[in-house]
């Protein structure tokens, strides 16, 4: 099976190369999309073959390692382009290639006729390659390569329609905010090298285990988590994700909901032993996570841009995933990544279909009543919404509930209460979105250009993802409901050690509370839905009720002024410093001064020297003779 | 019999006169003649040494020098005439086209 693994990366790489080299020739011709989609589908097929082989193998034969080539070999440190396929990474590989293939297919419809059609698929294939590096790497450095690579692709795709300045700005924002996080990742690798002398995942984990809890491990995990807050949009680095919606909608679905943003969760899960050895970091993770989940949910309630709501919802759901990790329930976090990839990709693609139908209108205040025009989009969207709201037996219910239960049993009651509050808000804003978009009076001009249902390339992925949103949860039905916790047991060999370590620190309490808590959280979700129904289902004008709330509405709809705070605390001073000091003094005075000064000094010296060259032959002869005399004198004297 | 020293002294005097002329005269033709004078001073030295050492190669070398000097005179005169046609002067301190 090992020899198949490199092909998972190879196919999208080929797609990238072909479209990248020859894309300019076939411009808007659908061939670019076909190549890219086939490439990702091929890797999905290979990944499935590897996966089913793993399922068939005994447990100790489920970890596959392949070294493609040596990469960096300095002293004792040896880092290779080598892949580690185990129970954790194969899940991610399947999601990336599977959901990725669906989104590629969808993009063929969505991007049809775009002048950058081939360029789009080139970037998308490169993204898949990089994302696969990230999850398949057997060492931190190769993961970091993928980590930076997906950041690059995210940047390129957010700013895909670069003719508009605001798209370019959003791309820059995402890129710069992520650099701050990546700095943390780099520092973490530095400390790892100093402490363990290796970057290999298994060696680092073994080293950490033999070392026990220590300051170094806390420092490493804190810095890694800083990287994760950037990539996975947690407080304080979440501000880029909503702006990233400037990119084409399939990008939002693939990169900014289903795959890249979950790489922070992957990294923490992959480093579970390190994190479990540092209870302080775990607490930080849990606190940051729950704050992010709540803050983003509160902002999401009052957004009117359909994609912005989904973006804040993503931030909030990522918060849930980190909450799972933070309380030491690593597999619960990964489970939510999986289900979230299904329903959030479905939601984003659904919103893309809506935007497509509305001729690139994203403001929900100008939608309404789309249910009858877009039946397939409506039903798939509704299914995904129910899934994210946490209604059993849809996928989101099982994963979110597992996180909440672990937060209660291994964390604290407060974490559970806040998490449940977040669930209430999730159900509320998601159904607000559904009602505003698909129900009520039509707030657009239907005579001018009536909305139309999307083509097959676009609704097939919607249907598949909706089906997965229904069924995906059954991978992790808890034992108490008679389920086998399939996913949990599957991940046990990778995540079990960390989970046991973390649980040993935290202790488990609340025996017998699982069912009641489950009931409560379902009740909460229903309350959220009912509230949304009451306020939004048949409203013709939006936001009348919202403005009545007054102060809170103002704060939340302004995104808690976080962006403004960064604007005035970081961006403006940076610009000010750049302009007044770096530009006017360092650049103009110092650097230009040095350069121009060097030229002026040379000019002056040559002015003196040129007087020697007066063009008179006799002078030259005289100089030669004087030289000869000087030379003879020197020889005679010494 | 005139001693070697006398020849060498005459030669040195001729060379010095020639060199002074090259350095201090302005007229290109005079300078030119002074160069010839220096060459002849050297020729004299060559012959003197040749006689003193009983080696004839010095005298052979003198023929080469005279040949080259004759050729040089022909080329040099052509250059001086060309300069005169352009500048209507052979004063070397008005010719500073070589300056940087």
Tell me the shortest Cα–Cα distance from B58 to chain A, in angstroms: 24
Shortest Cα distance, chain A CAs vs residue B94, angstroms: 8
**Rounded CA gap, A603 and A589, in Å?**
20
Residue of A nearest to B94 (CA): A616
Cβ–Cβ below 8 Å for A625 and B19 = yes
What is the model's pLDDT at position A544?
Answer: 61
Half-sphere exposure of A527 (CA within 13 A, CB side): 12
Q: Would the CA dihedral through A407, A241, A566, A421 be positive or negative?
A: negative
Predicted pLDDT at A481: 79
Exposed, middle or buried: residue A206 (CB in 10 Å: 0-12, 13-18, 19+)?
middle
Separation of first and last alpha carbons in chain A: 84
Q: What is the mean pLDDT of chain A?
A: 89
pLDDT at A542: 56
Identify all chain B residues contacting A610, using CB atoms and an 8 Å cutoff. 99-100
Task: Please report the residues numbered 27 through 46 in chain B whose beta carbons come closer than 8 angstroms to any beta carbon of chain A.
Answer: 31
Residue A540 has pLDDT above 60, yes or no: no
B23 vs A615: CB contact, 8 Å cut-off? no
Residue-wise pLDDT for A343-396, tens only, equals: 999 999 999 999 888 888 888 888 888 888 888 999 999 999 999 999 988 999
What one-character DSSP code corresponds to residue A200?
A: B
Residues contacting residue A505 through CB under 8 Å, at least 6 positions apart: A276, A279, A282, A328
Residue of A nearest to B27 (CA): A618
Per-residue pLDDT, A47: 95
Q: For A74-88, A448-462, B5-19, which range has the lowest pLDDT when averaged over its residues?
A: A448-462
Higher confidence at residue A294 or residue B87? Answer: A294
Convert the pLDDT of each residue in A10-24 to its tens digit: 999 999 999 999 988
Query: A613 and B23 in contact by Cβ < 8 A?
Result: no
Asked if A478 and A399 count as a contact pair (C-beta separation under 8 A), the reply is no
Q: What pLDDT shows up at residue A551?
A: 72
CA distance to A209, A486, A593, per residue, from A253 (Å): 38, 26, 51
Q: Which of A307, A400, A397 is closest to A348 using CA atoms?
A: A307
Q: Which two tokens stand for residue A56?
A: 């068939």
Min CA distance, A612 vs chain B (Å)? 9
The two structure tokens encoding residue A143: 């993961």
Q: Mind telling me how many Å the CA of A155 is from chain B's nearest CA?
A: 55
Enumerate the residues of chain A whose CB falls inside 8 A of the CB of residue B95.
615-617
Asked if A433 contacts A385 with a C-beta cutoff of 8 angstroms, the reply is yes
User: Whole-angstrom Cα distance, residue A228 to residue A318?
Assistant: 11
Sign of CA dihedral A408, A411, A413, A418: negative
Mean pLDDT along residues A310-334: 93
Cβ–Cβ gap A616/B92 under 8 Å: yes
User: Do residues A168 and A159 make contact, with C-beta atoms less than 8 angstroms apart?
Assistant: yes
Q: Is the pLDDT of residue A543 over 90?
A: no
- ipTM of predicted complex: 0.73
- Average of per-residue pLDDT across A481-502: 85
CA distance readout (Å), A42 to A101, A226, B33: 9, 35, 94
Contact at CB, A614 and B19, closer than 8 angstroms: no
User: Structure pTM?
Assistant: 0.80
Residue B92 pLDDT class (50, 70, 90 cuts) = confident
At A53-111, the pLDDT tens digits run: 999 888 888 888 999 888 888 888 888 899 999 999 999 999 999 999 999 999 998 99
Residue-level pLDDT at A385: 95
**Interface residue B86 vs chain A (CB under 8 A):** no
Bigger pLDDT: A233 or A611?
A: A233
Cα–Cα distance for residue pair A136/A92, rounded to 1 Å: 9
Do the chains contact at B95 and A618, CB–CB below 8 Å?
Answer: no
Q: Nearest-CA distance from A608 to chain B in Å?
A: 12
Is A617–B99 a contact, with Cβ atoms under 8 angstroms apart?
no
Nearest to A282 by CA among A172, A406, A389: A406
CA angle at residue A339 from A269 to A156, to 5 degrees?
75
Of A610, A615, A620, which has the smallest distance from its Cβ to B97's Cβ? A615
**Whole-angstrom Cα distance, residue B46 to residue A290?**
106
The pLDDT score that the predictor gives to residue A545 is 62
pLDDT for position A363:
86
* C-alpha dist (Å) from residue A368 to A428, A433, A439, A446: 17, 10, 5, 11
Contact across the interface for A621 and B99, Cβ inside 8 Å: no
Question: Model confidence at A564, in pLDDT bands (50, 70, 90)?
Answer: confident
Q: Is pLDDT above 60 for A541?
A: no
CB contact under 8 A, B93 and A613: no
Cα A169 to Cα A123, A559, B60, distances in angstroms: 19, 18, 88
- Confidence tier at A535 by pLDDT (50, 70, 90): confident
Sequence-distant (≥ 6) Cβ neighbours of residue A460 within 8 angstroms: A102, A105
Asked if pLDDT for residue A127 goes beyond 70, the answer is yes
d(CA A604, CA A609): 9
Q: Which residues of chain A does B98 touch, with a Cβ-Cβ cutoff of 8 Å?
A: 613, 615-617, 620
Contact across the interface for B95 and A613, Cβ inside 8 Å: no
- pLDDT by residue (tens digit) across A192-223? 999 998 999 999 999 999 988 889 999 999 99
With beta carbons less than 8 A apart as the criterion, state whether A47 and A90 touch: yes
Q: Smallest CA–CA separation between A628 and chain B, in Å?
A: 13
Beta carbons of A351 and A307 less than 8 angstroms apart = yes
Between the CA of residue A424 and those of A319, A427, A522, A614, what are the distances in Å?
15, 5, 9, 92
Cβ contact A133:A145 at 8 Å: yes
The segment with the largest mean pLDDT, out of A32-46, A61-75, A440-454, is A32-46
pLDDT for A80 equals 87
Q: Is B95 on the interface with A (CB under 8 A)?
A: yes
**Residue A562: per-residue pLDDT:** 81
The vertex-A240 CA angle with A234 and A241, nearest 5°, equals: 70
Classify the C-alpha dihedral A582-A588-A592-A593 as positive or negative: negative
Q: Which residues of A touch B (CB under 8 A)?
A: 610, 613-618, 620-622, 625
Tell me how far apart the alpha carbons of residues A158 and A178 are, in angstroms, rounded to a whole number: 13
Q: Using the predicted structure, report yes or no on whether residue A466 has a pLDDT greater than 90.
A: yes
Is a pLDDT exceeding 70 seen at residue A453? yes
Per-residue pLDDT, A135: 94
Whether residues B99 and A622 touch (CB distance < 8 A) is answered with no
């Amino acid at each position: 099976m090992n020899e198949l693994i490199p092909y998972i990366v190879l196919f999208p790489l080929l797609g990238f190369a072909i479209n990248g080299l020859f894309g300019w020739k076939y411009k808007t011709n659908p061939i670019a999309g076909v190549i890219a989609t086939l490439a990702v589908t091929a890797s999905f097929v290979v990944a499935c073959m590897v996966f089913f082989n793993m399922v068939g193998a005994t447990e100790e034969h489920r970890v596959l390692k392949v070294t493609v080539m040596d990469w960096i070999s300095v002293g004792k440190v040896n880092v290779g382009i080598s892949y580690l396929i185990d129970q954790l990474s194969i899940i991610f590989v399947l999601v990336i290639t599977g959901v990725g293939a669906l989104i590629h297919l969808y993009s063929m419809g969505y991007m049809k006729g775009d002048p950058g059609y081939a360029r789009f698929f080139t970037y998308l294939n490169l993204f898949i390659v990089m994302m696969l590096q990230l999850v398949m790497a057997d060492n931190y450095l190769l993961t970091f390569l993928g980590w930076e690579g997906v950041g690059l692709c995210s940047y390129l795709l957010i700013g895909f329609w670069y003719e508009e300045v605001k798209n370019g700005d959003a791309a820059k924002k995402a890129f710069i905010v992520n650099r701050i996080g990546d700095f943390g990742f780099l520092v973490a690798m530095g400390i790892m090298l100093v402490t363990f002398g290796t970057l290999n995942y298994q060696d680092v984990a073994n080293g950490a285990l033999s070392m026990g809890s220590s300051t170094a491990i806390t420092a490493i995990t804190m810095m890694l988590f800083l990287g994760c807050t950037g990539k996975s949009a947690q407080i304080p680095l979440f501000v880029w994700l909503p702006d990233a919606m400037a990119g084409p909608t399939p990008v939002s679905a693939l990169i900014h909901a289903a795959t890249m943003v979950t790489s922070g969760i992957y990294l923490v899960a992959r480093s579970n032993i390190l994190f479990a050895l540092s209870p302080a970091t775990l607490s930080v993770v849990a606190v940051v996570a729950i704050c992010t989940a709540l803050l983003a949910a509160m902002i999401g309630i009052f957004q009117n841009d359909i994609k912005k709501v989904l973006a804040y919802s993503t931030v909030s759901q990522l918060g849930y995933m980190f909450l799972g990790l933070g309380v030491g329930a690593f597999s619960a976090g990964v489970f939510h990544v999986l289900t979230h990839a299904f329903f959030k990709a479905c939601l984003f693609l659904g919103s893309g279909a809506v935007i497509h139908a509305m001729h690139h209108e994203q403001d929900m205040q100008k939608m309404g009543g789309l249910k009858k025009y877009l039946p397939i989009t409506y039903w798939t969207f509704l299914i995904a919404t129910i899934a994210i709201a946490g209604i059993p037996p849809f996928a989101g219910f099982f994963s979110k509930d597992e996180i909440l239960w672990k937060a209660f049993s291994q964390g604290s009651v407060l974490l559970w209460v806040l998490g449940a509050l977040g669930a209430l808000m999730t159900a509320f804003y998601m159904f607000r979105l559904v009602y505003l978009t698909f129900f009520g009076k039509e707030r657009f001009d239907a005579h001018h250009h009536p909305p139309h249902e999307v083509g097959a390339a676009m609704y097939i992925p919607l249907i598949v993802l909706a089906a997965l949103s229904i069924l995906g949860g059954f991978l992790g039905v808890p034992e108490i409901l008679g389920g086998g916790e399939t996913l949990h047991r599957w991940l046990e060999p990778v995540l079990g050690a960390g989970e046991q370590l973390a649980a040993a620190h935290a202790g488990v309490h609340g025996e017998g509370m699982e069912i009641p808590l489950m009931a409560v959280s379902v009740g909460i979700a229903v309350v959220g839905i009912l509230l949304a129904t009451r306020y939004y289902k048949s409203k013709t004008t939006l936001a009348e009720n919202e403005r009545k709330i007054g102060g809170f509405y103002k704060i939340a709809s302004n995104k808690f002024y976080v962006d403004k705070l960064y604007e005035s605390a970081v961006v403006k001073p940076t610009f000010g410093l750049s302009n007044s000091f770096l530009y006017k003094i360092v650049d103009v005075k110092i650097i230009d001064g040095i350069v121009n000064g060097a030229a002026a000094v040379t000019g002056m010296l040559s002015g003196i020297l040129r007087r020697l060259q007066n063009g008179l032959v006799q002078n030259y002869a005289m100089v030669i003779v004087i030289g000869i005399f000087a030379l003879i004198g020197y020889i005679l004297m010494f | 019999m005139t001693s070697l020293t006398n020849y060498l002294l005459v030669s040195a005097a001729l060379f010095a006169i020639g060199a002074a002329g090259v350095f201090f005269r302005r007229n290109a033709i005079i300078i030119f003649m002074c160069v010839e004078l220096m060459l002849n001073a050297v020729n004299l030295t060559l012959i003197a040494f040749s006689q003193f050492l009983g080696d004839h190669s010095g005298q052979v070398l003198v023929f080469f020098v005279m040949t080259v000097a004759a050729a040089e005179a022909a080329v040099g005169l052509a250059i001086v005439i060309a300069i005169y046609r352009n500048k209507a002067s052979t004063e070397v301190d008005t010719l500073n086209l070589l300056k940087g």
